[in-house]
Each structure stands twice: as structure tokens, then as C-alpha cells.
Structure 1
């Protein structure tokens, strides 16, 4: 039998043990994991994980939580619930003041529980912790740092805002015909920068292409990147005519050219080395990981 319904039955039978008072003021178990754990007039708060009274107006709410407001104020279709305002009101009629009005969700929660979040681990699958509240990330959400951050997979953190990765428009992409190799589940390339452009007849051995241009690409992945560049499979660079080439061949084995970071090796910063003519001043290229996005980049040097 569900927790809150079981508690109500025990209350009716007079077998009252150590219980918590819900926002409705009745001595019943407050915590829940699903709507079925709550009474018919309640729902299980998706983040605070406590049963909360539904309502259409403040008159439907108990004195402990008198404000009738949308569960999610950013959604027009969100159900309305009774929200609290102070710890004192949450504990109205209780012998022990062991409830707290959650600052994140404005519902009465057992004292000592989070009632909100501090890290993404506190949230349900697919949600992130944003300013103490678990939310599903959306384009335009606030984020920090770069790469995936708290954004949806396929987006990246740009100037503290979740944004779609740039759409490819370069000739390298327009002439690329094998687009079945692309997707939204593989590693996502989100940035490229020109690191240097210098004469290097050792790396660029061969007449007419003595200039070595280094372009550093950054990508994130939902599976760990390999620790060694020679184990890196599925990364390609694409010529202007649309022909793909293995990118592993233009990654130097020396330190600093393949850097993997993150707890689960989810980010890679990779230096690609291109050989161009001595008088070259610009380079158009495209890169992609199998199953990932196509990223266009024009290097000016």
C-alpha cells in the first residue's frame, strides 16, 4: 500500500506512530516517490518529493500553505498546488516543529531534507540544478563555463546561455555527400580556434606547402574519449571539395596536442595540423565525429 494512504489508514485506526504532518495539517507521511503515494486531492511534487495539495484557488488550501499557484510558474499548463510562505505556518498545530517551507519550491518538507538542489545529482533524470531548483534545460537556459555544461546534448554554453551549435554552411559541408555519418548522439564539436601559423618544413615536408597551421577543436561526448590519440576513431576533417580525411593523421603525438579532461573523460581538445602554401592567409575546413555534428571553421592567419 502507498505510504501516505497507508498512513491515513493507520491514523483512522488510531495506530499513530512517528509520523510527519503534511501541509494539509493531518498526521500522515509526507514524503512520496509518485502520485500514487498521495491522496486523491494531492500530487507528488516532482522535485521536493512530498505530497502537495492541488487547488484552483486559495480557498482550497489549508492555513499551513495558503497560496494557490502553478507548480511550475514558467508553464501555462502546469497544475496549481498549495504553496507555503513560512516555516511557522508549515508547523501549525504540530507538537514538534519539524517541517520547513522549502525556499526552492515553497512547499512544506521535512526539516533536514534538501527541498531543492545543490548539484545536478539531486535532480531527476534529464533535469539540472539551476539556482537551487531542478529544471529541464532548454535553449536559452543559464549555464556556466563552456561545452555541454548544463545544456541539452547537442547544445553548448555560449556566453552563459545554452545555444544550439552553429549550423554548418561552409563549402566543405555543402560538398560533403555522406551525411548519413552525421547525427546528434556522437561527440559534439562546439568550438575551434587558430592556435598558430608558422613555417615548418619538417611537419610539412613537400614543395609548396611549408606553412603549418594549427587549429584546436573542442568537443564533448556522452561516452569517454580514449586516453590516447591513436585510439581515437571516427574523427574526420573535410576538404573544401567535400572529401573526408582521417583526422588522426594530422594530430601530433607530442604532448599537448590531444588533451582529454572531465571526470568521465567527456571533453577533448585536439590540435589539428594543416599544411598550406607559404603565402596562404586563410583556410576553410570542416570536422565531424561519426554520429556527431558537422562543424565548419575558417582559420585566418
Structure 2
């Protein structure tokens, strides 16, 4: 992941070389680092963002992508060091002439960094807002838990093997506008149900007395979701009361996901806080089914099912 992110940074910065001022034609700032030795002579390794940043005396020393010369700040031994700081995502990606959107201007550090895809891309104490690509401050919360669903974890996490784990980012084509998919909009400040598990049950002819796809194969997928612990919301006891579940196809079109659930294949637990249900799909002649799901105001999540 880090190698891919580094290549994205280098590619985007290469596109900005014509905009650089006072730093030469090849500004290597923005490469990932773990210490100052990983950076060029006129750079330091940002202690929180973990990218090389240019030091400066005035703004004339800085590239167009990060034109503000200001103290690093914080509590590190380099806190009073002047560094080039950014102001907008657009400038990080080359301004009006830029064609990339791989970088963001960090809200926390004011330096250009690769947009995050998941919490793994952020440093300790930070979480990824996948909608904006920003690493944000993580509210202090438990790391261990019991059971399943939200348990004692923060909203947007779920209990997996007794560990609070961030829900997977929606990385399938169904939620990639560049491939015709839907733009994800969920953030950790949202308040809708969280889908935390999509698992394949079977890819075979349906044994029900009224087969879902007739004589053809039916893909049966088990889905688990929870209602936020800090809300009074609960899932309905019966599938007939379930609302706002959307199935997103690879081309970004949506349909009512509730219609893909048999009444007998829906159940709730934990006093209505967790719902477990099976969704049925007719795959036709394909061998890989890409599923996009979300509840309104909840997280977008992908399930890529192999035959």
C-alpha cells in the first residue's frame, strides 16, 4: 500500500514540476519517510504526516503547491522549523492545469499527502475519511471488544476477533465514479446503519421450492449490519419493515436491496441492533459478481464473490 501511495505522490508531483518556484525543477518533497535521513538535504521528515517536506526561510523558497512558509508546530524537537505548507487540494495536484486527484492538503498538517483509502494509510491516532481522502483525528476509543457488530467499538468500527476494526473501504468498481460507479459519501460523522460483513453462502441452483433464479444458479450472500450504539434506532423484526437498503450495480445504478431478501432469510439480534440477512442474486454466465451495498446515511461496502 505504501509503495503504491509513494508512486502516486511522485507521479502527481512530476506533473507539477512546471509550477515549482525557487526549488529547482525536480522537487522530491512528498515522498514517504520514517526519518530525516530519508529526505533530501533541504527537507525534513514530517513527524506526523511521514512525508518529506521542504524547509524554507520565506515563501519564495516554496513550490506553487505549498506556498506558505510557516513553523512546523506540534511537540517534536523540530516544532520551530519553517516548512512549506499547502492550502488547497487543487494546488497539491497541480492547480488548474493539474489532472491528478491523488493528493490532498492535510487538514491536520497542512502538507500535501496521498489521499487515504483506509485507516491503514493514516498514522497512529488517526482514521481515514474515505469520502475526502483525509486522515482525521481519531476519537479515543477501545481497541478490544466482544461479540459482533459495533459492540463497544466506535461508530464505523466493528468487533472482529475481539478487536475493534474499521469497516472495509468501498474499493470495487460499483463505487468508483471513474469506472461508472457511484460516488461514496459516507463519513464517520454520518449516522446510518453500518454494514460490516458480506460473505458468500453458495453459488449454485436454489434448492427452495420456488428457486430464485429458476433453473439457473443463484448467488446467496449473507450480510450483517448494525445500528449505531448511541442512537435509539433498531432494525425491524420482519423483513417487510426493512427500508433504505440499496444494491449498487457495477455501472452505478441502484435498486431496492430489500427485494433481494426472502422473509425467511432475515433475522435480528442484540435487541434489534444487529440484522443478519441473505441476499439473492442471479449472476447469469459470469464467474465473478461484484456487489455494492449501503443503507441511506450508512457506509458503502463491497462484496466481490467468486463462483
Please give the TM-score of this superposition, normalised by the length of structure 1: 0.49
Higher Cα Rg, which structure: 1
Normalised to the residue count of structure 2, the TM-score between the two structures is: 0.48
